[in-house]
Structure 1
Amino acid sequence: MLLLTVVLLLLLFIVAYILFSMPIINKSPLNFCRYSCYRHIFTIFLSAHSLRDNATMQFCANKLDKKDFFGKSDPFMVFYRSNEDGTFTICHKTEVVKNTLNPVWQPFTIPVRALCNGDYDRAIKVEVYDWDRDGSHDFIGEFTTSYRELARGQSQFNVYEVVNPKKKMKKKKYVNSGTLLLLVSEYVCFTKFLFAVKFSGNPSQSTSLHYMNPYQMNAYALALKAVGEIIQDYDSDKMFPALGFGAKLPPDGHVSHEFPLNGNIENPYCNGIEGILEAYHQSLKTVQLYGPTNFAPVVNHVARYAAAVQDGSQYFVLLIITDGVISDMSQTKEAIVNAAKLPMSIIIVGVGQAEFDAMIELDGDDIRISSRGKLAERDIVQFVPFRDYMDRTGNHVLSMARLAKDVLAEIPDQFISYMKSRGIKPNPSPPPYTPPGHTHHTQI
């Protein structure tokens, strides 16, 4: 009896030890916002700690190697994710900063999953090049880091020596080819992307941008897929409201400029980019493409969502795919001026070979858009002509990297300008994230 009691107590002790030593895992995604300034306010945002989240980062460099005979260098950075087999895959390329050895690159946004596939300690390789017009870019140097290190933000841990291995082997006194510094501030909110597709022409004619070719994707589908794959990881849940405009709808043939692509007025959400493409192809079979082409209804549609949530907890991005023809320019300008007060941005992707003068005007980079004598509070429109990113060199990865950079180029500044203008204070940073089974080491 005594032996049995001892055995039971021992078993209870073992079970209790196992239960109390198991790590407690918070399964809810951690999204947070925080911003700060560095020198001349290098502002970027970083939302982290779940596979859905995105990292927006900015780098500057100091004393890079001089590569150009008549100038300095034209540096740019290329980021690579390491694969399970030891190889590396390009995941981002920055813009080129001309004629400087001390560049400051623009902020860029990338899904955490694209950087490290959820493994925060996985190596991330970064190479720095001097751009050459003929494509024979000169290698300056490289360094490696990890998402766990980058997530620390601006600190002594994120100052990197740019090293050229060949120069290091040949020159005994070689130290490095320059240094890089990560500039990071962090901001949070859930981002919701909404798609709007312009319908026009006859999809049965081969000249139409909506032509239903059984062997290849049409221009609109190509743009939807390319841009959609860029932004889908930035969306909070990857369920996208998708609208069409400029078509007659069954059964009565009434003209609509804001109809759900999936045909469901109560639930216009599509599951991922494949869901949007499926709804788009189904719409081509059921609606009759028809003019005029009015943008204002879809802009106002999204503005109604944004107007209901102005506390900084959500930010809306409307993505319009269009051939550039617009019938309600004055109404669209008024809609954009009104939307500039709200937590939303608009990305216009032009397809086809049109001049896109009207879309460039809506972009407002040169002249801030106005309506009835009233200037827009902030610039919220980014226009990107898709034809400029069609693969002509055989390097599809680099083409899509350029497209990703330009599609998202203005979103961080637009996002932060809204938060600052409304005095919305950032939430405090969460405690350091530790993956299940990973021991967190304290720096001494």
Structure 2
Amino acid sequence: MNPYQMNAYAMALKAVGEIIQDYDSDKMFPALGFGAKLPPDGRVSHEFPLNGNVDNPYCNGMEGILEAYHESLKTVQLYGPTNFAPVINHVARYAAAVQDGSQYFVLLIITDGVISDMAQTKEAIVNAAKLPMSIIIVGVGQAEFDAMVELDGDDVRISSRGKLAERDIVQFVPFRDYMDRTGNHVLSMARLAKDVLAEIPDQLILYMKSRSIKPNQTPPDYSPPGLSPTPTV
């Protein structure tokens, strides 16, 4: 932690989160940590609330998530292995409960490690591909991210136990590709957000079409009080 500069985790979280948060009406986001020993007994967990509240892991906006992240770093001890399946299955449980098209879930995973539970993660993704959800993975640091590229599924559709994923729901980007040599983080973070979110619209539409879910009626154009709406041609 550097008191004068955000670390790569916080930068990635802010870059992606500040755009995607505008698609959420209440701006309350559950934030989970994985790969740490928790107080008071040092139990290793791969699915714990960053704010320390098991009953309510929701954080208020991006600022709330960043605050919970920084606070958790003071209390937990980072610890391997790196297991993805628990957080993917966590979000999948929520997505499975709302399959009528009224909600769509996006899980953002920020990680620096090689995946330790590859088989379980693949199975979790194949199962999640049937649900209204997408997964964004941002790889931080200099580790080899070959496994993440495999999960991305752009070249070869991911499979588990001989079963292909119904659709591609994972987008992976390595954070190091977006570090601008000139130190211009604003431009590079905008590029990161653009690339990370590039596949989400098609993934959402593909889910809706596969379930024959049609969009709601478009609401009428907003016009300030006292003004007649502008006619559209």
Unaligned runs of 5+ in 1: 1-211
Alpha-carbon distance in structure 1 between the residues aligned to 2:232 and 2:100: 37
Give the aligned partner of residue 379 of structure 1.
Answer: 168
Unaligned runs of 5+ in 2: none
Kindly provide the amino acid, as one letter, of the partner of residue 237 in structure 1.
Answer: D
TM-score relative to the length of structure 2:
0.94
In the alignment, which of 200, 206, 214 is matched to residue 411 of structure 1?
200
Counterparts of residues 75-114 of structure 1 (less than 5 Å): none
In the alignment, which of 233, 236, 239 is matched to residue 25 of structure 2?
236
Give the aligned partner of residue 215 of structure 1.
Answer: 4
Q: Deviations over 1:44-72 (max 9, x none)?
A: xxxxxxxxxxxxxxxxxxxxxxxxxxxxx
Percent of paired sites with the same residue: 90
Counterparts of residues 121-140 of structure 1 (less than 5 Å): none
Kindly provide the amino acid, as one letter, of the partner of residue 410 in structure 1.
Answer: E
CA contact (8 A) 1:324 1:359 kept: no
Pair 1:321-2:114 in alignment = no
CA contact (8 A) 1:244 1:260 kept: yes
Alpha-carbon distance in structure 2 between the residues aligned to 1:273 and 1:324: 24
Q: Deviations over 1:385-405 (max 9, x none)?
A: 111112224554432332221
Q: Deviations over 1:229-288 (max 9, x none)?
A: 232222222111000001111112211110000000111011111111111111111111
Pair 1:247-2:36 in alignment = yes
Alpha-carbon distance in structure 2 between the residues aligned to 1:311 and 1:225: 30
Give the aligned partner of residue 349 of structure 1.
Answer: 138
Q: Deviations over 1:138-189 (max 9, x none)?
A: xxxxxxxxxxxxxxxxxxxxxxxxxxxxxxxxxxxxxxxxxxxxxxxxxxxx
Give the aligned partner of residue 363 of structure 1.
Answer: 152
Distance 1:441 1:328, change over 3 A: closer
CA contact (8 A) 1:239 1:272 kept: yes
Q: Give how far 1:411 is off.
A: 0.3
CA contact (8 A) 2:15 2:190 kept: no
Kindly provide the amino acid, as one letter, of the partner of residue 214 in structure 2.
Answer: K
* Larger of the two Rg values belongs to structure: 1
Structure (1/2) with the larger strand percentage = 1
Q: Deviations over 1:310-345 (max 9, x none)?
A: 000000000000013110000000000000000000
Give the aligned partner of residue 265 of structure 1.
Answer: 54
Pair 1:300-2:86 in alignment = no
Kindly provide the amino acid, as one letter, of the partner of residue 39 in structure 2.
Answer: P
Q: Give how far 1:431 is off.
A: 2.6
Give the aligned partner of residue 25 of structure 1.
Answer: none
What is the SS of the residue equivalent to 1:301? Answer: helix
TM-score relative to the length of structure 1:
0.51
The alignment of Structure 1 onto Structure 2 pairs a total of residues equal to 233
Aligned Cα root-mean-square deviation (Å) = 1.6
Q: Give how far 1:220 is off.
A: 1.6
Q: Deviations over 1:173-224 (max 9, x none)?
A: xxxxxxxxxxxxxxxxxxxxxxxxxxxxxxxxxxxxxxx2233222222222
Q: Give how far 1:290 is off.
A: 1.2
Distance 1:443 1:283, change over 3 A: closer
CA contact (8 A) 1:324 1:358 kept: no
Counterparts of residues 32-181 of structure 1 (less than 5 Å): none
Q: Deviations over 1:3-57 (max 9, x none)?
A: xxxxxxxxxxxxxxxxxxxxxxxxxxxxxxxxxxxxxxxxxxxxxxxxxxxxxxx
What is the SS of the residue equivalent to 1:347? Answer: strand
